């Protein structure tokens, strides 16, 4: 492993010395209160474009995130039925998930945060903010945020997607898009499972409508997802007969009015989630829990452009509630006021500073400041530093859950942290290098612990947890250097993390099981008959776990309106797990077709 890392460092720093200057394509991201050119952003943001997504050998959006360094997706089962996402050693509760900038986190538990009405077919791009994002998104963007941007520009077309594979895998989807700026998507995915009680069924439906005028924009997005799955040992290895079904419905409306230098925008959003859980489906009335959560809110924001930069102010109100057979009935609300100012000087110096004033039920007023500074040392080399504070309130499960396997704690305090980061970015047309070091000083962090494997998991506040990390990533666009070479692109990403918490006799369920070393390598190549071959390698060494090396691959081919692929996950057929007792699938082959029919083409 050390030899591999040394070779990567030699390659990146040898190319670092190139001096040719290129004009790069402008890419806009939403890592601040303003749409920002990624070149001027001083946050650590990873962008997965539609092209990037097509070159990663996965069937679903949650597995897609496994191939971003510093992102940890821990799965139970297969095909994204139950996945937890964390960033830079944080817990899965500390990552904020959004669709088109609208918050999607579930107040019951972060296990439901990825219950989203999305498929790879209706995602335009994914933006991953690594590190604290509270000055932009408020609480719960504790260690990072993932923003799924849906497709907005539609033509008159109908697409049919189908996937079949081992273990009875079946996936059929229909997408209808029109030039009236709307889109409809429906799909069903199911499998017999790769071992006892890992079968699943997933139904998904979404609709999007855009209204675009000269100085007015509005978007409506509604979605529904229904998951039912065997949950063999998901939450405790003492119970192999667990079963769960979740139904999630979301609706949000966004609008924006532009008056030259002044812009008003608003959001209205709603999300509910129904969770039907059996600890043992053989005894359906024993430890059978049902939970229903609702989240609704609104946000109003105004942006102003002047010679002094871009200023933003706004207010947000969110209320969440739960009605549960186990957790009881509870209601909480949040009122936030935020302000941010961005300033760019001659495209060399950038400053972004903001405050998030946050008032939550049973939490005194908190002020979350943040500042990001960037400076171009040369036309290709940029340095940046950032600071931000954050907090997260416990979920209802952490507070109130009671079962033979897990015990909540109504006395939990909210989590807090201070986050520091510094880095260098170097970019040319055919090569880029990103490097950073970061430090998070956490207070009262929440974890589930136990003394013995026969004990239930219990929730506690950890007094203090300091996490230090380093990232290094690079991208080689070989096709722009050697036009007819069989390798088009190579991406490398490495992350090192270290935490100082001592577990003593306790076993930690989440906080001390982050990656210590993570290496991701992706390669896109030309193959026979004008096809493409993509291969993705992951080396992962998790704290208190054995190391593992995993390879996924796919072969793709386009025939005008027809797209075909053959895909293999866990190509080496390794036995591994993300959670003890929950063995994940071995080698799994699948194949698929996508046919797109265009109609009523505009002249």
Average pLDDT over residues 180-200: 95
pLDDT band at 37 (very low <50, low <70, confident <90, very high): low
Give the other-Cβ count within 10 Å of 237's Cβ.
14
Which CATH number do you get for residue 157? Answer: 2.40.170.20
Average pLDDT over residues 182-209: 96
158 bridge partner residues:
176, 597
Residue 603 included in any domain: no
Residue 71 included in any domain: yes
Phi, psi of 279 (to 5 degrees): -70, -30
pLDDT above 70 for 278: yes
Q: Average the pLDDT over each of 16-30, 218-232, 247-261 and give the range with the smallest value.
A: 16-30
Sort strands 82-87 and 71-76 into parallel, antiparallel or unpaired: antiparallel
The model's pLDDT over 312-355, given as tens digits with 9 standing for 90+, comes to 999 999 999 999 999 999 999 999 999 999 999 988 999 999 99
The distance of Cα 160 from the centroid of its chain, to the nearest Å, equals: 26
Residue 378 included in any domain: yes
Domain hosting 356: range is 2-598
Mean pLDDT of the chain: 89
**pLDDT value at position 154?**
76
pLDDT above 80 for 8: no
Q: Which residue has the tokens 């990533």?
A: 473
Cβ atoms 202, 188 nearer than 8 A: yes
Average pLDDT over residues 413-440: 94
How far is CA 532 from each of CA 54, 248, 486, 488, 489, rounded to the nearest angstrom?
11, 36, 10, 10, 11
d(CA 538, CA 353): 36
Residue 139 included in any domain: yes
Cβ atoms 419, 389 nearer than 8 A: yes
Percent of the chain with pLDDT over 70: 92
**pLDDT value at position 190?**
97
Q: Average the pLDDT over each of 21-25, 420-424, 465-469 and give the range with the smallest value.
A: 21-25
pLDDT above 50 for 362: yes
Cα Rg of the chain, angstroms: 23
**pLDDT value at position 471?**
96
Distance separating the N- and C-terminal Cα atoms of the chain: 57
List the structure tokens of 251.
Answer: 């609706």
pLDDT band at 7 (very low <50, low <70, confident <90, very high): very low
DSSP for residue 22: -
The model's pLDDT over 376-407, given as tens digits with 9 standing for 90+, comes to 999 999 999 999 999 999 999 999 998 888 89
Residue 416 included in any domain: yes
Residue 552 included in any domain: yes
The model's pLDDT over 60-115, given as tens digits with 9 standing for 90+, comes to 999 999 999 999 999 998 998 999 999 999 989 999 999 999 999 999 999 999 99
| Number of domains forming the structure of the chain | 1
**pLDDT value at position 134?**
87
């Amino acid at each position: 492993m050390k030899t591999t890392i040394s070779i990567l460092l030699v390659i990146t720093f040898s190319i670092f010395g190139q001096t040719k200057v290129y004009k790069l394509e402008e890419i806009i991201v939403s890592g601040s209160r303003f749409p920002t050119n990624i070149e001027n952003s001083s946050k650590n943001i990873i962008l997965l474009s539609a092209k990037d997504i097509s070159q990663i050998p996965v069937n679903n959006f949650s597995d897609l995130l496994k191939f971003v360094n510093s992102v940890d997706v821990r799965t139970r089962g297969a095909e994204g039925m139950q996945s937890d996402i964390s960033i830079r050693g944080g817990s899965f509760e500390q990552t904020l998930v959004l669709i088109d900038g609208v918050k999607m986190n579930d107040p019951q538990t972060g296990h439901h945060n990825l219950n989203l009405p999305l498929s790879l077919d209706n995602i335009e791009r994914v933006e991953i903010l690594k590190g604290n994002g509270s000055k932009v998104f408020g609480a719960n963007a504790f260690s990072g945020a993932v923003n799924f941007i849906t497709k907005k520009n539609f033509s008159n077309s109908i697409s049919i997607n189908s996937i079949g594979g081992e273990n009875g895998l079946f996936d059929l989807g229909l997408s209808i898009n029109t030039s009236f700026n709307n889109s409809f998507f429906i799909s069903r995915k199911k499998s017999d499972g790769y071992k006892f009680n890992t079968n699943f069924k997933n139904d998904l439906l979404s609709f999007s409508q855009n209204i675009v005028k000269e100085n007015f924009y509005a978007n409506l997005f509604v979605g529904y997802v229904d998951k039912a799955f065997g949950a063999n040992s998901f939450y405790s290895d003492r119970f192999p007969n667990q079963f769960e079904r979740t139904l999630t419905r979301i609706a949000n409306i966004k609008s924006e009015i532009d008056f030259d230098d002044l812009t008003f925008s608003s959001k209205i959003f709603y999300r509910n989630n129904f969770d039907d859980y059996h600890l043992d489906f053989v005894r359906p009335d024993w430890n059978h829990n049902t939970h229903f959560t609702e989240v609704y809110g609104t946000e109003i924001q105004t942006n102003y452009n002047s010679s002094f930069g871009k200023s933003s102010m706004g207010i947000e109100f969110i209320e969440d509630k739960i009605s549960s057979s186990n957790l009881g009935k509870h209601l909480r609300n949040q009122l936030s006021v935020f302000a941010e100012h961005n300033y760019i000087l001659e495209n060399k110096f950038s400053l972004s500073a903001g405050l998030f004033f946050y008032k939550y039920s049973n939490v005194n007023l908190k002020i979350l400041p943040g500042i990001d500074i960037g400076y171009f040392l040369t036309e290709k080399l940029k340095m940046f530093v950032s600071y931000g504070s954050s907090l997260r309130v416990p979920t209802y499960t952490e507070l109130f859950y009671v079962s033979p396997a897990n015990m909540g704690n109504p006395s939990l305090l909210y989590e807090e942290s201070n986050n520091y980061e510094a880095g260098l970015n170097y970019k040319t047309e055919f090569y880029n290098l990103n490097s950073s070091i970061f430090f998070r000083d956490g207070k009262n962090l929440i974890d589930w612990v136990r003394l013995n494997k026969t004990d239930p998991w219990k929730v506690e506040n950890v007094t203090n947890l300091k996490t230090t990390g380093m990232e290094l990533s690079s991208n080689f666009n070989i096709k722009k250097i050697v036009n007819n070479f069989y390798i088009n692109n190579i991406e490398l990403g490495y992350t090192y993390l270290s935490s100082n918490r001592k577990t003593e006799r306790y076993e930690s369920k989440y906080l001390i099981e982050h990656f210590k070393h993570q290496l991701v390598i992706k390669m896109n190549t030309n193959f026979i008959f004008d096809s493409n071959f993509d291969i993705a390698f992951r080396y992962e060494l998790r704290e208190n776990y054995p190391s593992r090396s995993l390879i996924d691959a796919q072969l793709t081919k386009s025939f005008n309106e027809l797209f075909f692929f053959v895909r293999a996950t866990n190509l080496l057929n390794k036995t591994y797990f993300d959670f003890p007792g929950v063995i994940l699938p071995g080698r799994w082959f699948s194949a698929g077709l996508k046919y797109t029919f265009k109609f009523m083409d505009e002249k």
